[in-house]
Amino acid sequence: MKKIAIIGCGWLGKALAQSLIAQGHHVRGSVTTKANLEALGNMGVEFFLLTVENETIVGDLNSFLEGVEIVVIAFPPGRRKNPDANYASRIKILVTALYKYPSCKLLLLSSIGVFGAAQGVVNEKSTPLPDSEVGQQLLSAEKLIQTTTNQATLVRLGGLVGGNRHPVKQLAGRTKIPAPKAPTNLVHREDVVRFLMSIVEQGHWGKTLHCVSPIHHQREIFYTEMSKRLNLPIPSFLKTASKRNKKVVDSSSATLFNFAYRLGECGVEGG
């Protein structure tokens, strides 16, 4: 049994916590609002109120980290809700705090957003060339994790789907959507949890990994079909050519820990 702390027990973090607890691990989880504490407690998570800000950490980080073997950094960049959020600064603060815990291993949940939209086919060895502010912050955060004295692995996640969450719901009924032929780079939450569990339980540290479905749909065809399945308004795509061609490949997990994606289609639930 390992003692594992998840910083950011949200939509994905809670699912990971649930799986870890089911396997007998002791899990601490942090949330940023009191309203979410009860739900963690009901799951069997030792909960903490903790907020990582640009220049400080609000909450008792030392108690949160005491005796912990693995820290999973699972909070998103957060710029949609807070345009002033600086993900790289927040990761730097965490990394600095973790100097006091050199035996603690780190698992950073990063994103395929580190790659530019026109980078074509990319794998774990490809050089990220971010073309957005968020992408640049993600890359800076990754470099901080890779240079820390703690053993660390970073996992670049594809676009997350599962439960009630699916990008078709944001695209349904929209018009003039660009890049109709661009490939999707999605991954189902259940596959992500299994992927992360393998890293934690088998000890794959010092790695840069991609967790993305091997099935890359053409955007227009895929989102049109998913809209039909949910009886949503059909989205309308531009017919003009686009340079957006990013296709992110997971070329490591099958060899490293015999991983196979079970929900590679990344369709809507029940569809």
pLDDT tens, residue by residue, 216-267: 999 999 999 999 999 999 999 999 989 999 999 999 999 999 999 999 999 9
| 146 within some domain | yes
Predicted local confidence at residue 271, as pLDDT: 44
Q: Is residue 164 part of a domain?
A: no
DSSP notation for 43-71 = HT-EEEE-EE-SS-EES-HHHHHTT-SEE
Q: Range of 83's domain?
A: 3-158+188-214+246-257
Least confident of 29-33, 187-191, 214-218: 29-33
Distance CA(37)–CA(52), nearest Å, equals 17
What was the pLDDT predicted at 132? 94
The pLDDT assigned to 22 comes to: 97
Our CA dihedral for 164, 162, 217, 236, rounded to 10 degrees, sits at 10
176: left (phi over 0), alpha (psi -120 to 50) or beta: left
Contact assessment for residue 75 and residue 53, using Cβ atoms and an 8 Å cutoff: no
CATH code for position 118:
3.40.50.720
pLDDT tens readout for residues 33-91:
898 888 888 999 999 999 999 999 999 999 999 999 999 999 999 766 777 889 999 99
- In this structure, is residue 235 part of a structural domain? no
Distance of alpha carbon 117 from alpha carbon 51, whole angstroms: 31
Give the pLDDT score at 80: 66
Gap between the Cα atoms of 249 and 28, Å rounded: 32
Residue 258: its pLDDT value, please? 98
Spatial contact of 106 and 145, defined as CB atoms under 8 Å apart? yes
269 confidence band (pLDDT: 50, 70, 90): confident
What are the tokens at 70?
């693995």
pLDDT at 38: 85
Q: Is the residue at 24 inside a domain?
A: yes
Residue 53 forms part of a structural domain = yes
Q: How far is CA 88 from CA 29, 60, 116, 144, 182, in A?
A: 21, 21, 18, 8, 29
The closest alpha carbon to 96, from 135, 136, 138, 57, belongs to 57
Would you say residue 77 lies in a domain? yes
Residue 89's H or E segment, with its range, is helix 87-97
Domain membership of residue 182 (yes or no) is: no
Total domains, the chain: 1
pLDDT digits (tens, 9 = 90+) for 147-187: 999 999 999 999 999 999 999 999 999 999 999 999 999 99
Q: What is the pLDDT of residue 270?
A: 55
Residue 174: inside a domain? no
Q: Model-level pTM?
A: 0.96
Mean pLDDT value across residues 86-114: 96
